Structure 1
């Protein structure tokens, strides 16, 4: 294993120290490295809080700032944050209008966020489950929450910035999640620092089709195919799952898992866009890049989120975070 490390025991805290120092104009680190929050809080605004295991950067801490999250709770690598982290984040960012948790559908995340919600007042939750690859896995009950989580955080974050109420934001988040589907493919494994070896073995000419963002298995192990063939299967699975809803305007998001160069991500975007547009989708918004990663894994996911006039406007609304910035 070759990584820039001092110690596997301090990799998360040292990374968080560097991250917040690099973005000190917009971020503050909570006591004990339990959460990252916006430097400037907006009184009377519903606070959005998310989090999960580290290793998926820039999700979630990189999405804290104006127009998105108010706080993010980082767990150890691929490990859910603990309930006390979320409780302290609520205390750190709730300005009186309540808090909305945005939670990826993994068993540990859901359990710990549920416990934290019971320990705090004025908290509601949106659970994301956009992955169409599998219904169940070792990491979750039901569909996994993956790259579509970013779409929910951006759109709901913009609505929160407008001053919408807590219940309305939850309803919007649930609606965006229901309109969003994702699926990924891995060409290599990732290496968790504490393990020091790849999470799974995969041959030079193989791919893991439908992989999760922790390296957990997907639909099947298969021989490596052309980019067009991979995109065709993923896009068809997404369209079939959305059914009649997969018609009209949409956001197309091609996400890298950490070890895939931009050149290949844009190639996959080109392939996916052509396929979706032959199926009745009009791509009106786009995002390409490594935003929901799996450490150093080579691979990508494709996310399609159907848009209406309201959600397109909220996607376009100004945002200023470490990872996403526009309109400011």
Structure 2
């Protein structure tokens, strides 16, 4: 194992300390329990957005805390759900009186712990709603899930719903918008290599040099199929077609196309994928009106990519374009 770390048990703590030193204008860090809040939290009268999950997927979620996106993020240990007390304390810290929305990726531990935290928060008089993201078309049930996994769409939801909350929309409106986004977005990923969790000290799975895994999860869960490596255009087709056919997306749809790097993928390769993905979309009469390209939801140092398509309308486009200022995503400010 080659990693730029000190001790495996200190990875998350030392990362948080680094974030605290780097971005005091954007966030505040709370330790024991660990969570990240925007520097001006709580924002009075605004619906607060809280998300979280295992560390190792940076910049998701801590890199998306700030104006126009999340109010708080709860980092668990690497690839491990945060605890209910982290989620509860984060919820209390950002409650500005208008309620709190929990954005939860569909992994068993995340769902269970966020539910527990929401119940505890409601017991303390905080109005909490939760939306579960389950956009992965690759597999129905996986090692970590009952149902589909929550993957790339999470980033798009946090941005769009964050803008809606910033506008002053109500908790119900913000939660309904999140559910609409979940119903209109689909994702699928693949891996060229495994990744190594610091505590494990060895790759999560064995993937021979000349093979790839199609439909992989962000924790290294198995995908749909393993096969010999293909050219980028063929790989893009293998990811795009299940996405298009699942919703299904149809001719005339306007979409946001998100080509994501899994942590070990250079941008030169992501743009090769994006180029082909747009060509495939256009061949089906689907118009790409917005895009995001880069490593926004990663899996440590895994080499691979995921593609997410979200069906857009004028409201979603306006909210996507709205200003955002976080460590991991910023424009318009």
TM over 0.5: yes
- Measured against the shorter chain, the TM-score band is over 0.9
- Asked if the contact 2:53/2:82 (under 8 Å) is kept, the reply is yes
Alignment of 1:195-210 (within 5 A): 195-210=200-215
Name the structure 1 match of 2:170: 165
Alignment of 1:184-263 (within 5 A): 184-244=189-249, 247-263=252-268
- Asked if the contact 1:13/1:33 (under 8 Å) is kept, the reply is no
RMSD (Å), alpha carbons = 0.9
- Asked if the contact 1:239/1:246 (under 8 Å) is kept, the reply is no
1:16 is aligned to 2:12: no
Task: Name structure 2 gaps, 5 residues minimum.
Answer: none
Alignment of 1:100-179 (within 5 A): 100-121=101-122, 122-179=127-184
Shift of residue 245 of structure 1? 5.0
Alignment of 1:265-304 (within 5 A): 265-304=270-309
Q: Deviations over 1:48-100 (max 9, x none)?
A: 00000000000000000000000000000000000000100011110111100
Identify if the C-alpha distance between structure 1 residues 243 and 311 changes in structure 2 by more than 3 Å, giving closer, same or farther.
same
Shift of residue 246 of structure 1? 6.4
- Asked if the contact 2:261/2:294 (under 8 Å) is kept, the reply is yes
Shift of residue 33 of structure 1? 5.2
Name the structure 2 match of 1:59: 60
Task: Name structure 1 gaps, 5 residues minimum.
Answer: none
TM-score (normalised: structure 1): 0.99
In 2, the alpha carbon distance for the partners of 1:75 and 1:222 equals: 33
Aligned length: 328
* Greater mean alpha carbon deviation, residues 50-59 or residues 28-37: 28-37
Identify if the C-alpha distance between structure 1 residues 246 and 98 changes in structure 2 by more than 3 Å, giving closer, same or farther.
farther
In 1, the alpha carbon distance for the partners of 2:173 and 2:299 equals: 32
- Asked if the contact 2:271/2:293 (under 8 Å) is kept, the reply is yes
In 1, the alpha carbon distance for the partners of 2:49 and 2:10 equals: 28
Shift of residue 247 of structure 1? 3.9
3-state SS of paired residue (1:86): helix
Identify if the C-alpha distance between structure 1 residues 33 and 118 changes in structure 2 by more than 3 Å, giving closer, same or farther.
closer
Identify if the C-alpha distance between structure 1 residues 296 and 244 changes in structure 2 by more than 3 Å, giving closer, same or farther.
closer
In 1, the alpha carbon distance for the partners of 2:140 and 2:285 equals: 26
